[in-house]
Structure 1
Amino acid sequence: MKFLKITIFLLLVSSNFLQAKTDTIEVFSKAMNKSLKATVIKPAGIEGLDHEFPSVYVLHGAWGNYLDWHKNVKKNNLLQELADLYQIILVTPGVAPFSYYYDSPLMDSVQYETYISKELVPYVDANFPTIKDKNARAITGLSMGGHGAMMIAAKHPELFSAAGSMSGVMNIDVRTWVGNESTQEERRKSQREMLGEIEYDYPFSPYTAVGLVNQMKQNGIALLIDCGVDDFLIETNRQLHQLLLENDTPHEYTERPGAHTWDYWTDALPFHILFINQVFERNKIRLHD
């Protein structure tokens, strides 16, 4: 019995050691004069190893925070399992609600494009064993975070080799959303406060993903877009898909059953990480050039 207890104890210690480790960090943003939290999920057993890993930034949605991808997914330890499986470092930043990850021309407190691209990425690269090369770095996100991922990657091709969107707000124009009429005017009001008057019709504002399709083509970043057919943002995703087809931008586009829910995103994230990992595998030769 004593031997059995010791064996069980060692197994528990071993399984805990082998699980990917999550660190909570706090990064000061000079652009906004405030600190923001994020989590960094590392593959298991990397402490003390002289080895660097690819990194993926996973962005949350409008009502979320830096812990969303840990607390709300429907599969326990999903991020940790993905970090271990693909030997990657995952980063989940936190930003303000309804900020859409852009830099406001009117509000110093809303400079999230700058924060992600010029403050958070350098901080993570300086403090964690990441491969400091765009060919081993990617970004994806859900809803508002999908918008952020596509927009930031389009504007900063020097940082990312792949970008993804799950149920993303590919057009911040609330007229393209299906339903949710009660909240649409609130969103438009907050957009005016942060952006002022912008162009919502074609060729669209650069503050929205559909206004950046030319940059997406020029940059050659691998793109993955998916959305549930019952999602209120489905038309914005179809619109971006059509614009990318029209300007001959290579991209992966998927519609499947589902709505704007954590059930959908729990299923979507492994698909995105698989896609990103395939991009990293193709990029390996470039890392050694």
Structure 2
Amino acid sequence: MKFLKLTVLICLININLLQAKTDTIEVFSKAMNKSLKASVVKPSGIEGLDQEFPSVYVLHGAWGGYLDWHKNATKPNLLQELADLYQMILITPGVAPFSYYYDSPLMDSVQYETYISKELIPYVDANFPTIKDKNARAITGLSMGGHGAMMIAAKHPELFSAAGSMSGVMNIDVRTWIGNEDTQEQRRKSQQEMLGEIEYDFPFSPYTAVGLVNQMKQNNIALLIDCGIDDFLIETNRQLHQLLLENDTPHEYTERPGAHTWEYWTDALPFHILFINQVFEKNKTQLN
């Protein structure tokens, strides 16, 4: 009985230590007049240290939330392990379903580009020991979050030195998606509600990642794009890749076995964090 009590006590201590490394924050958005939650994963044992760390914003997909990467990754404690390995702070924001992280010209409740770039990042920098410099800040995400990461980085090069996409919606035009016509029609209707009538054909709307390739070229942000060959969004990724090749934008592009699954994203995130860390290492001489 004493052994059982001791085991339970040790487990509780370990759980509390783990929880202490991850904070849940709630940030009020003036742009949308509402509060949104995010998770902040810190390297172990940094409390009391006079040190600042690089930061990476890791975005979720449609139907998701700020805890997606914590609950659904197929490897337990994946974010904490990466934060510890690379000594960086990982932030997982939550946004509304199917918002694609853009600012709607029609709906005040959908202003997520502004929220991430002008409200969340300043809040995190003010309340956590981050390096307040684009050379030590990056953004990546899965599916809808991949679109958000590429779009926000393209529009805000002053904030990021690297951006990535895993199975990203690189073109919100549902005609470029494979299969599931009912879902596609639902997405098209929600886009019209939030954006109105936009240009889906070349040269594309600035509300979609493929419409921002000129900004991507000008910004000199390190880009990593990957997608599974069985993913229903593979053609949108190939389209962006081709456009970046045509305008001579340096980027890393990978296709590998896999579909639109958490198994794929769990395997992909460590490669994204490795890529981002390499960018951070190169940037150290440029930090203020």
Give the TM-score taking structure 2 as reference length: 0.95
One-letter code aligned to 1:280: F
CA distance 1:6–1:219, shift in 2 (3 Å): same
User: How does 1:8-87 map onto structure 2 within 5 Å?
Assistant: 17=17, 21-87=21-87
Give aligned-pair identity as a percent. 89
Give, in whole Å, the separation in 2 of the partners of 1:210 and 1:140. 16
- Give the count of matched residue pairs: 286
> Helix, strand or coil: the match of 2:226?
strand
> Helix, strand or coil: the match of 1:105?
coil
- Residue 228 of structure 2: aligned partner: 228
> Helix, strand or coil: the match of 2:158?
coil
Give, in whole Å, the separation in 1 of the partners of 2:180 and 2:242. 24
The question of whether the paired residues in 2 share the 8 Å contact of 1:20 and 1:83 is answered with no
Gaps of 5+ in 2: none
User: Cα offset for 1:182?
Assistant: 1.4
One-letter code aligned to 2:154: A
User: How does 1:53-202 map onto structure 2 within 5 Å?
Assistant: 53-202=53-202
Give, in whole Å, the separation in 2 of the partners of 1:210 and 1:11. 48
Displacement over 2 Å in runs of 4+: 5-20
> Helix, strand or coil: the match of 1:168?
coil
The question of whether the paired residues in 2 share the 8 Å contact of 1:166 and 1:226 is answered with yes
Give, in whole Å, the separation in 2 of the partners of 1:236 and 1:72. 24
Give, in whole Å, the separation in 1 of the partners of 2:174 and 2:232. 10
Over aligned residue pairs, what C-alpha RMSD do you find? 2.0
Give, in whole Å, the separation in 1 of the partners of 2:178 and 2:7. 56
Give, in whole Å, the separation in 2 of the partners of 1:266 and 1:25. 24
One-letter code aligned to 1:80: Q
> Helix, strand or coil: the match of 2:189?
helix
CA distance 1:127–1:232, shift in 2 (3 Å): same
> Helix, strand or coil: the match of 1:138?
strand
One-letter code aligned to 1:33: N
User: How does 1:227-246 map onto structure 2 within 5 Å?
Assistant: 227-246=227-246
> Helix, strand or coil: the match of 1:39?
strand
User: Cα offset for 1:150?
Assistant: 0.0
User: Cα offset for 1:180?
Assistant: 1.4
CA distance 1:35–1:10, shift in 2 (3 Å): closer
Give, in whole Å, the separation in 2 of the partners of 1:173 and 1:245. 21
Deviations 1:149-198 (A, max 9, x none): 00000000000000000000000000000111111111000000000000
CA distance 1:106–1:263, shift in 2 (3 Å): same
CA distance 1:175–1:126, shift in 2 (3 Å): same
Gaps of 5+ in 1: none
Give the TM-score taking structure 1 as reference length: 0.95
User: Cα offset for 1:14?
Assistant: 7.4
> Helix, strand or coil: the match of 1:40?
strand
The question of whether the paired residues in 2 share the 8 Å contact of 1:19 and 1:84 is answered with no
User: Cα offset for 1:10?
Assistant: 7.7
The question of whether the paired residues in 2 share the 8 Å contact of 1:139 and 1:163 is answered with yes
User: How does 1:248-287 map onto structure 2 within 5 Å?
Assistant: 248-287=248-287
> Helix, strand or coil: the match of 2:83?
helix
